[in-house]
A = this chain, B = another copy of it.
């Protein structure tokens, strides 16, 4: 290999990243207030830039660079970052090149149509409208899996897109443990007579004051506003434009203080990760989170394990009371803590609490696996869905709008994505177990509002590496274990048995 190949490869990667930043800001703008009449014209620009970027990623030049740089003797002469760059880009390149162009186009057209049909079907709570499209989406995805190559099982190939190297067999074990221990806990809680009061969470809260408090807590956790900003969007998200421009959004519900508060902490957690990656990874394609699961571990850690903990509110409840004196002066910190941790079997995943959320994810995992690895038919999804909700959560959807039609993911062909949410919770609990050993003052830090040492620990152990390490490498390096759901289960049992006095 000539030294030039590496240079050309790095320049290609840098340019692909720059297209990414341009696309990201167009996306951010669309979600935070772009005038609605301009959206049609905007789509053309997004289409053009995406095509340019895709063409670069799949160019002959990229292919040549990757094949030269992947030769064993050459690969071994590269440093760690370069090796990871080659591995990651080769994976994407292969994934893209293996699909015939006409199937790609068919997929773009199909999923775009399928998403709008899903919306209509959801509005009308009528699965039959969506069914023929979902059947085609599943069928096409199965073809993709064939082209990509089956890793273990067909569903493993899909899981690998979002959480590299995780397998259905690992997840069977993980979700098996969750099911075994959490389903009885949820039942006990449902039967408990000692339920938290939540009425005070639903008063009238002005948007301006909600925003003020969100800004305050984000500063406290160490989000850098000189390298980010907080805006309003219907569905909150974090977006990394570049290492020093990591933006978050939230939404304000006039009659629910919890939404803006916990979504700010959730997106803030994602953002802390992205803001604290090593500057050496800028432009390498590795300057982002290691995987969906590891990313979600950070949003969940800050939202739930910090933000919904008693030590956190022992320190910050007085600040909330200052912003909303009339609303909270007669509510004790313990009641506030218990209220924000109400756990209740429900039908809708995105409204679920920290505990039952995992069961919602488990149901989707089991159904996806059955679609791709077993013989579940799309036509039988609604019934299978309803049966699992009844069995695991004790609630049954009255119609498909609050059942199988509630999530957008499947309409776009995003199978294999859902497990990341629970993997995030599992990883977060593993990290917390480690941090509590290494920083024995963990709870005291939180009670004193000293959150920066915690952010620093996470930066040193996780954030700085970005995508330089795989999820499995990070888990192993930080916790000295493999993925292990035991910590999440123990954490949830302790927390919720305490709250519900079971």
Contacts and interface: CB of A to CB of B under 8 A. Distances in A.
Nearest to A244: B37
Interface in A25-73: 25-26, 29, 33-38, 40-42, 44-45, 48-49, 52
Nearest to A34: B245
Q: How many copies does the complex hold?
A: 2
Given A15-B48, A48-B15, A21 B33 contact: no
A37 B229 contact: no
A41 B243 contact: yes
A129 interface: no
A153 to B, nearest CB: 41
Given A25-B26, A33-B229, A229-B33, A241 B18 contact: no
A46 to B, nearest CB: 9
Contacts of A44: 14, 18
B22 A242 contact: no
Contacts of A41: 21, 241-245, 282
A74 interface: no
A408 interface: no
Interface size class of A (residues with CB under 8 A): 35 or more
Nearest to A241: B38
Interface in A184-232: 224-229
A204 to B, nearest CB: 20
A42 B282 CA distance: 12
B21 A245 contact: no
Contacts of A33: 229
B35 A22 contact: no
Contacts of A25: 25-26, 29
Interface in A226-259: 226-229, 241-245, 247
Nearest to A15: B48
Interface string A1-24: 000000000000011001101100
A241 B225 CA distance: 27
A21 B35 contact: no
Interface in A263-291: 282
Contacts of A21: 41-42, 45
A48 B18 CA distance: 7
A384 B44 CA distance: 51
A26 B37 contact: no
A37 B226 contact: yes
24 contacts: A15-B48, A18-B44, A18-B49, A19-B48, A21-B42, A21-B45, A22-B22, A22-B26, A22-B49, A35-B226, A35-B227, A35-B228, A35-B244, A35-B245, A37-B224, A37-B226, A38-B243, A38-B244, A40-B244, A41-B242, A41-B243, A41-B245, A42-B242, A45-B242
Interface of A: 14-15, 18-19, 21-22, 25-26, 29, 33-38, 40-42, 44-45, 48-49, 52, 224-229, 241-245, 247, 282
Given A18-B44, A40-B244, A41-B244, 7 more contacts: A18-B49, A25-B25, A25-B29, A34-B229, A35-B225, A38-B245, A41-B241
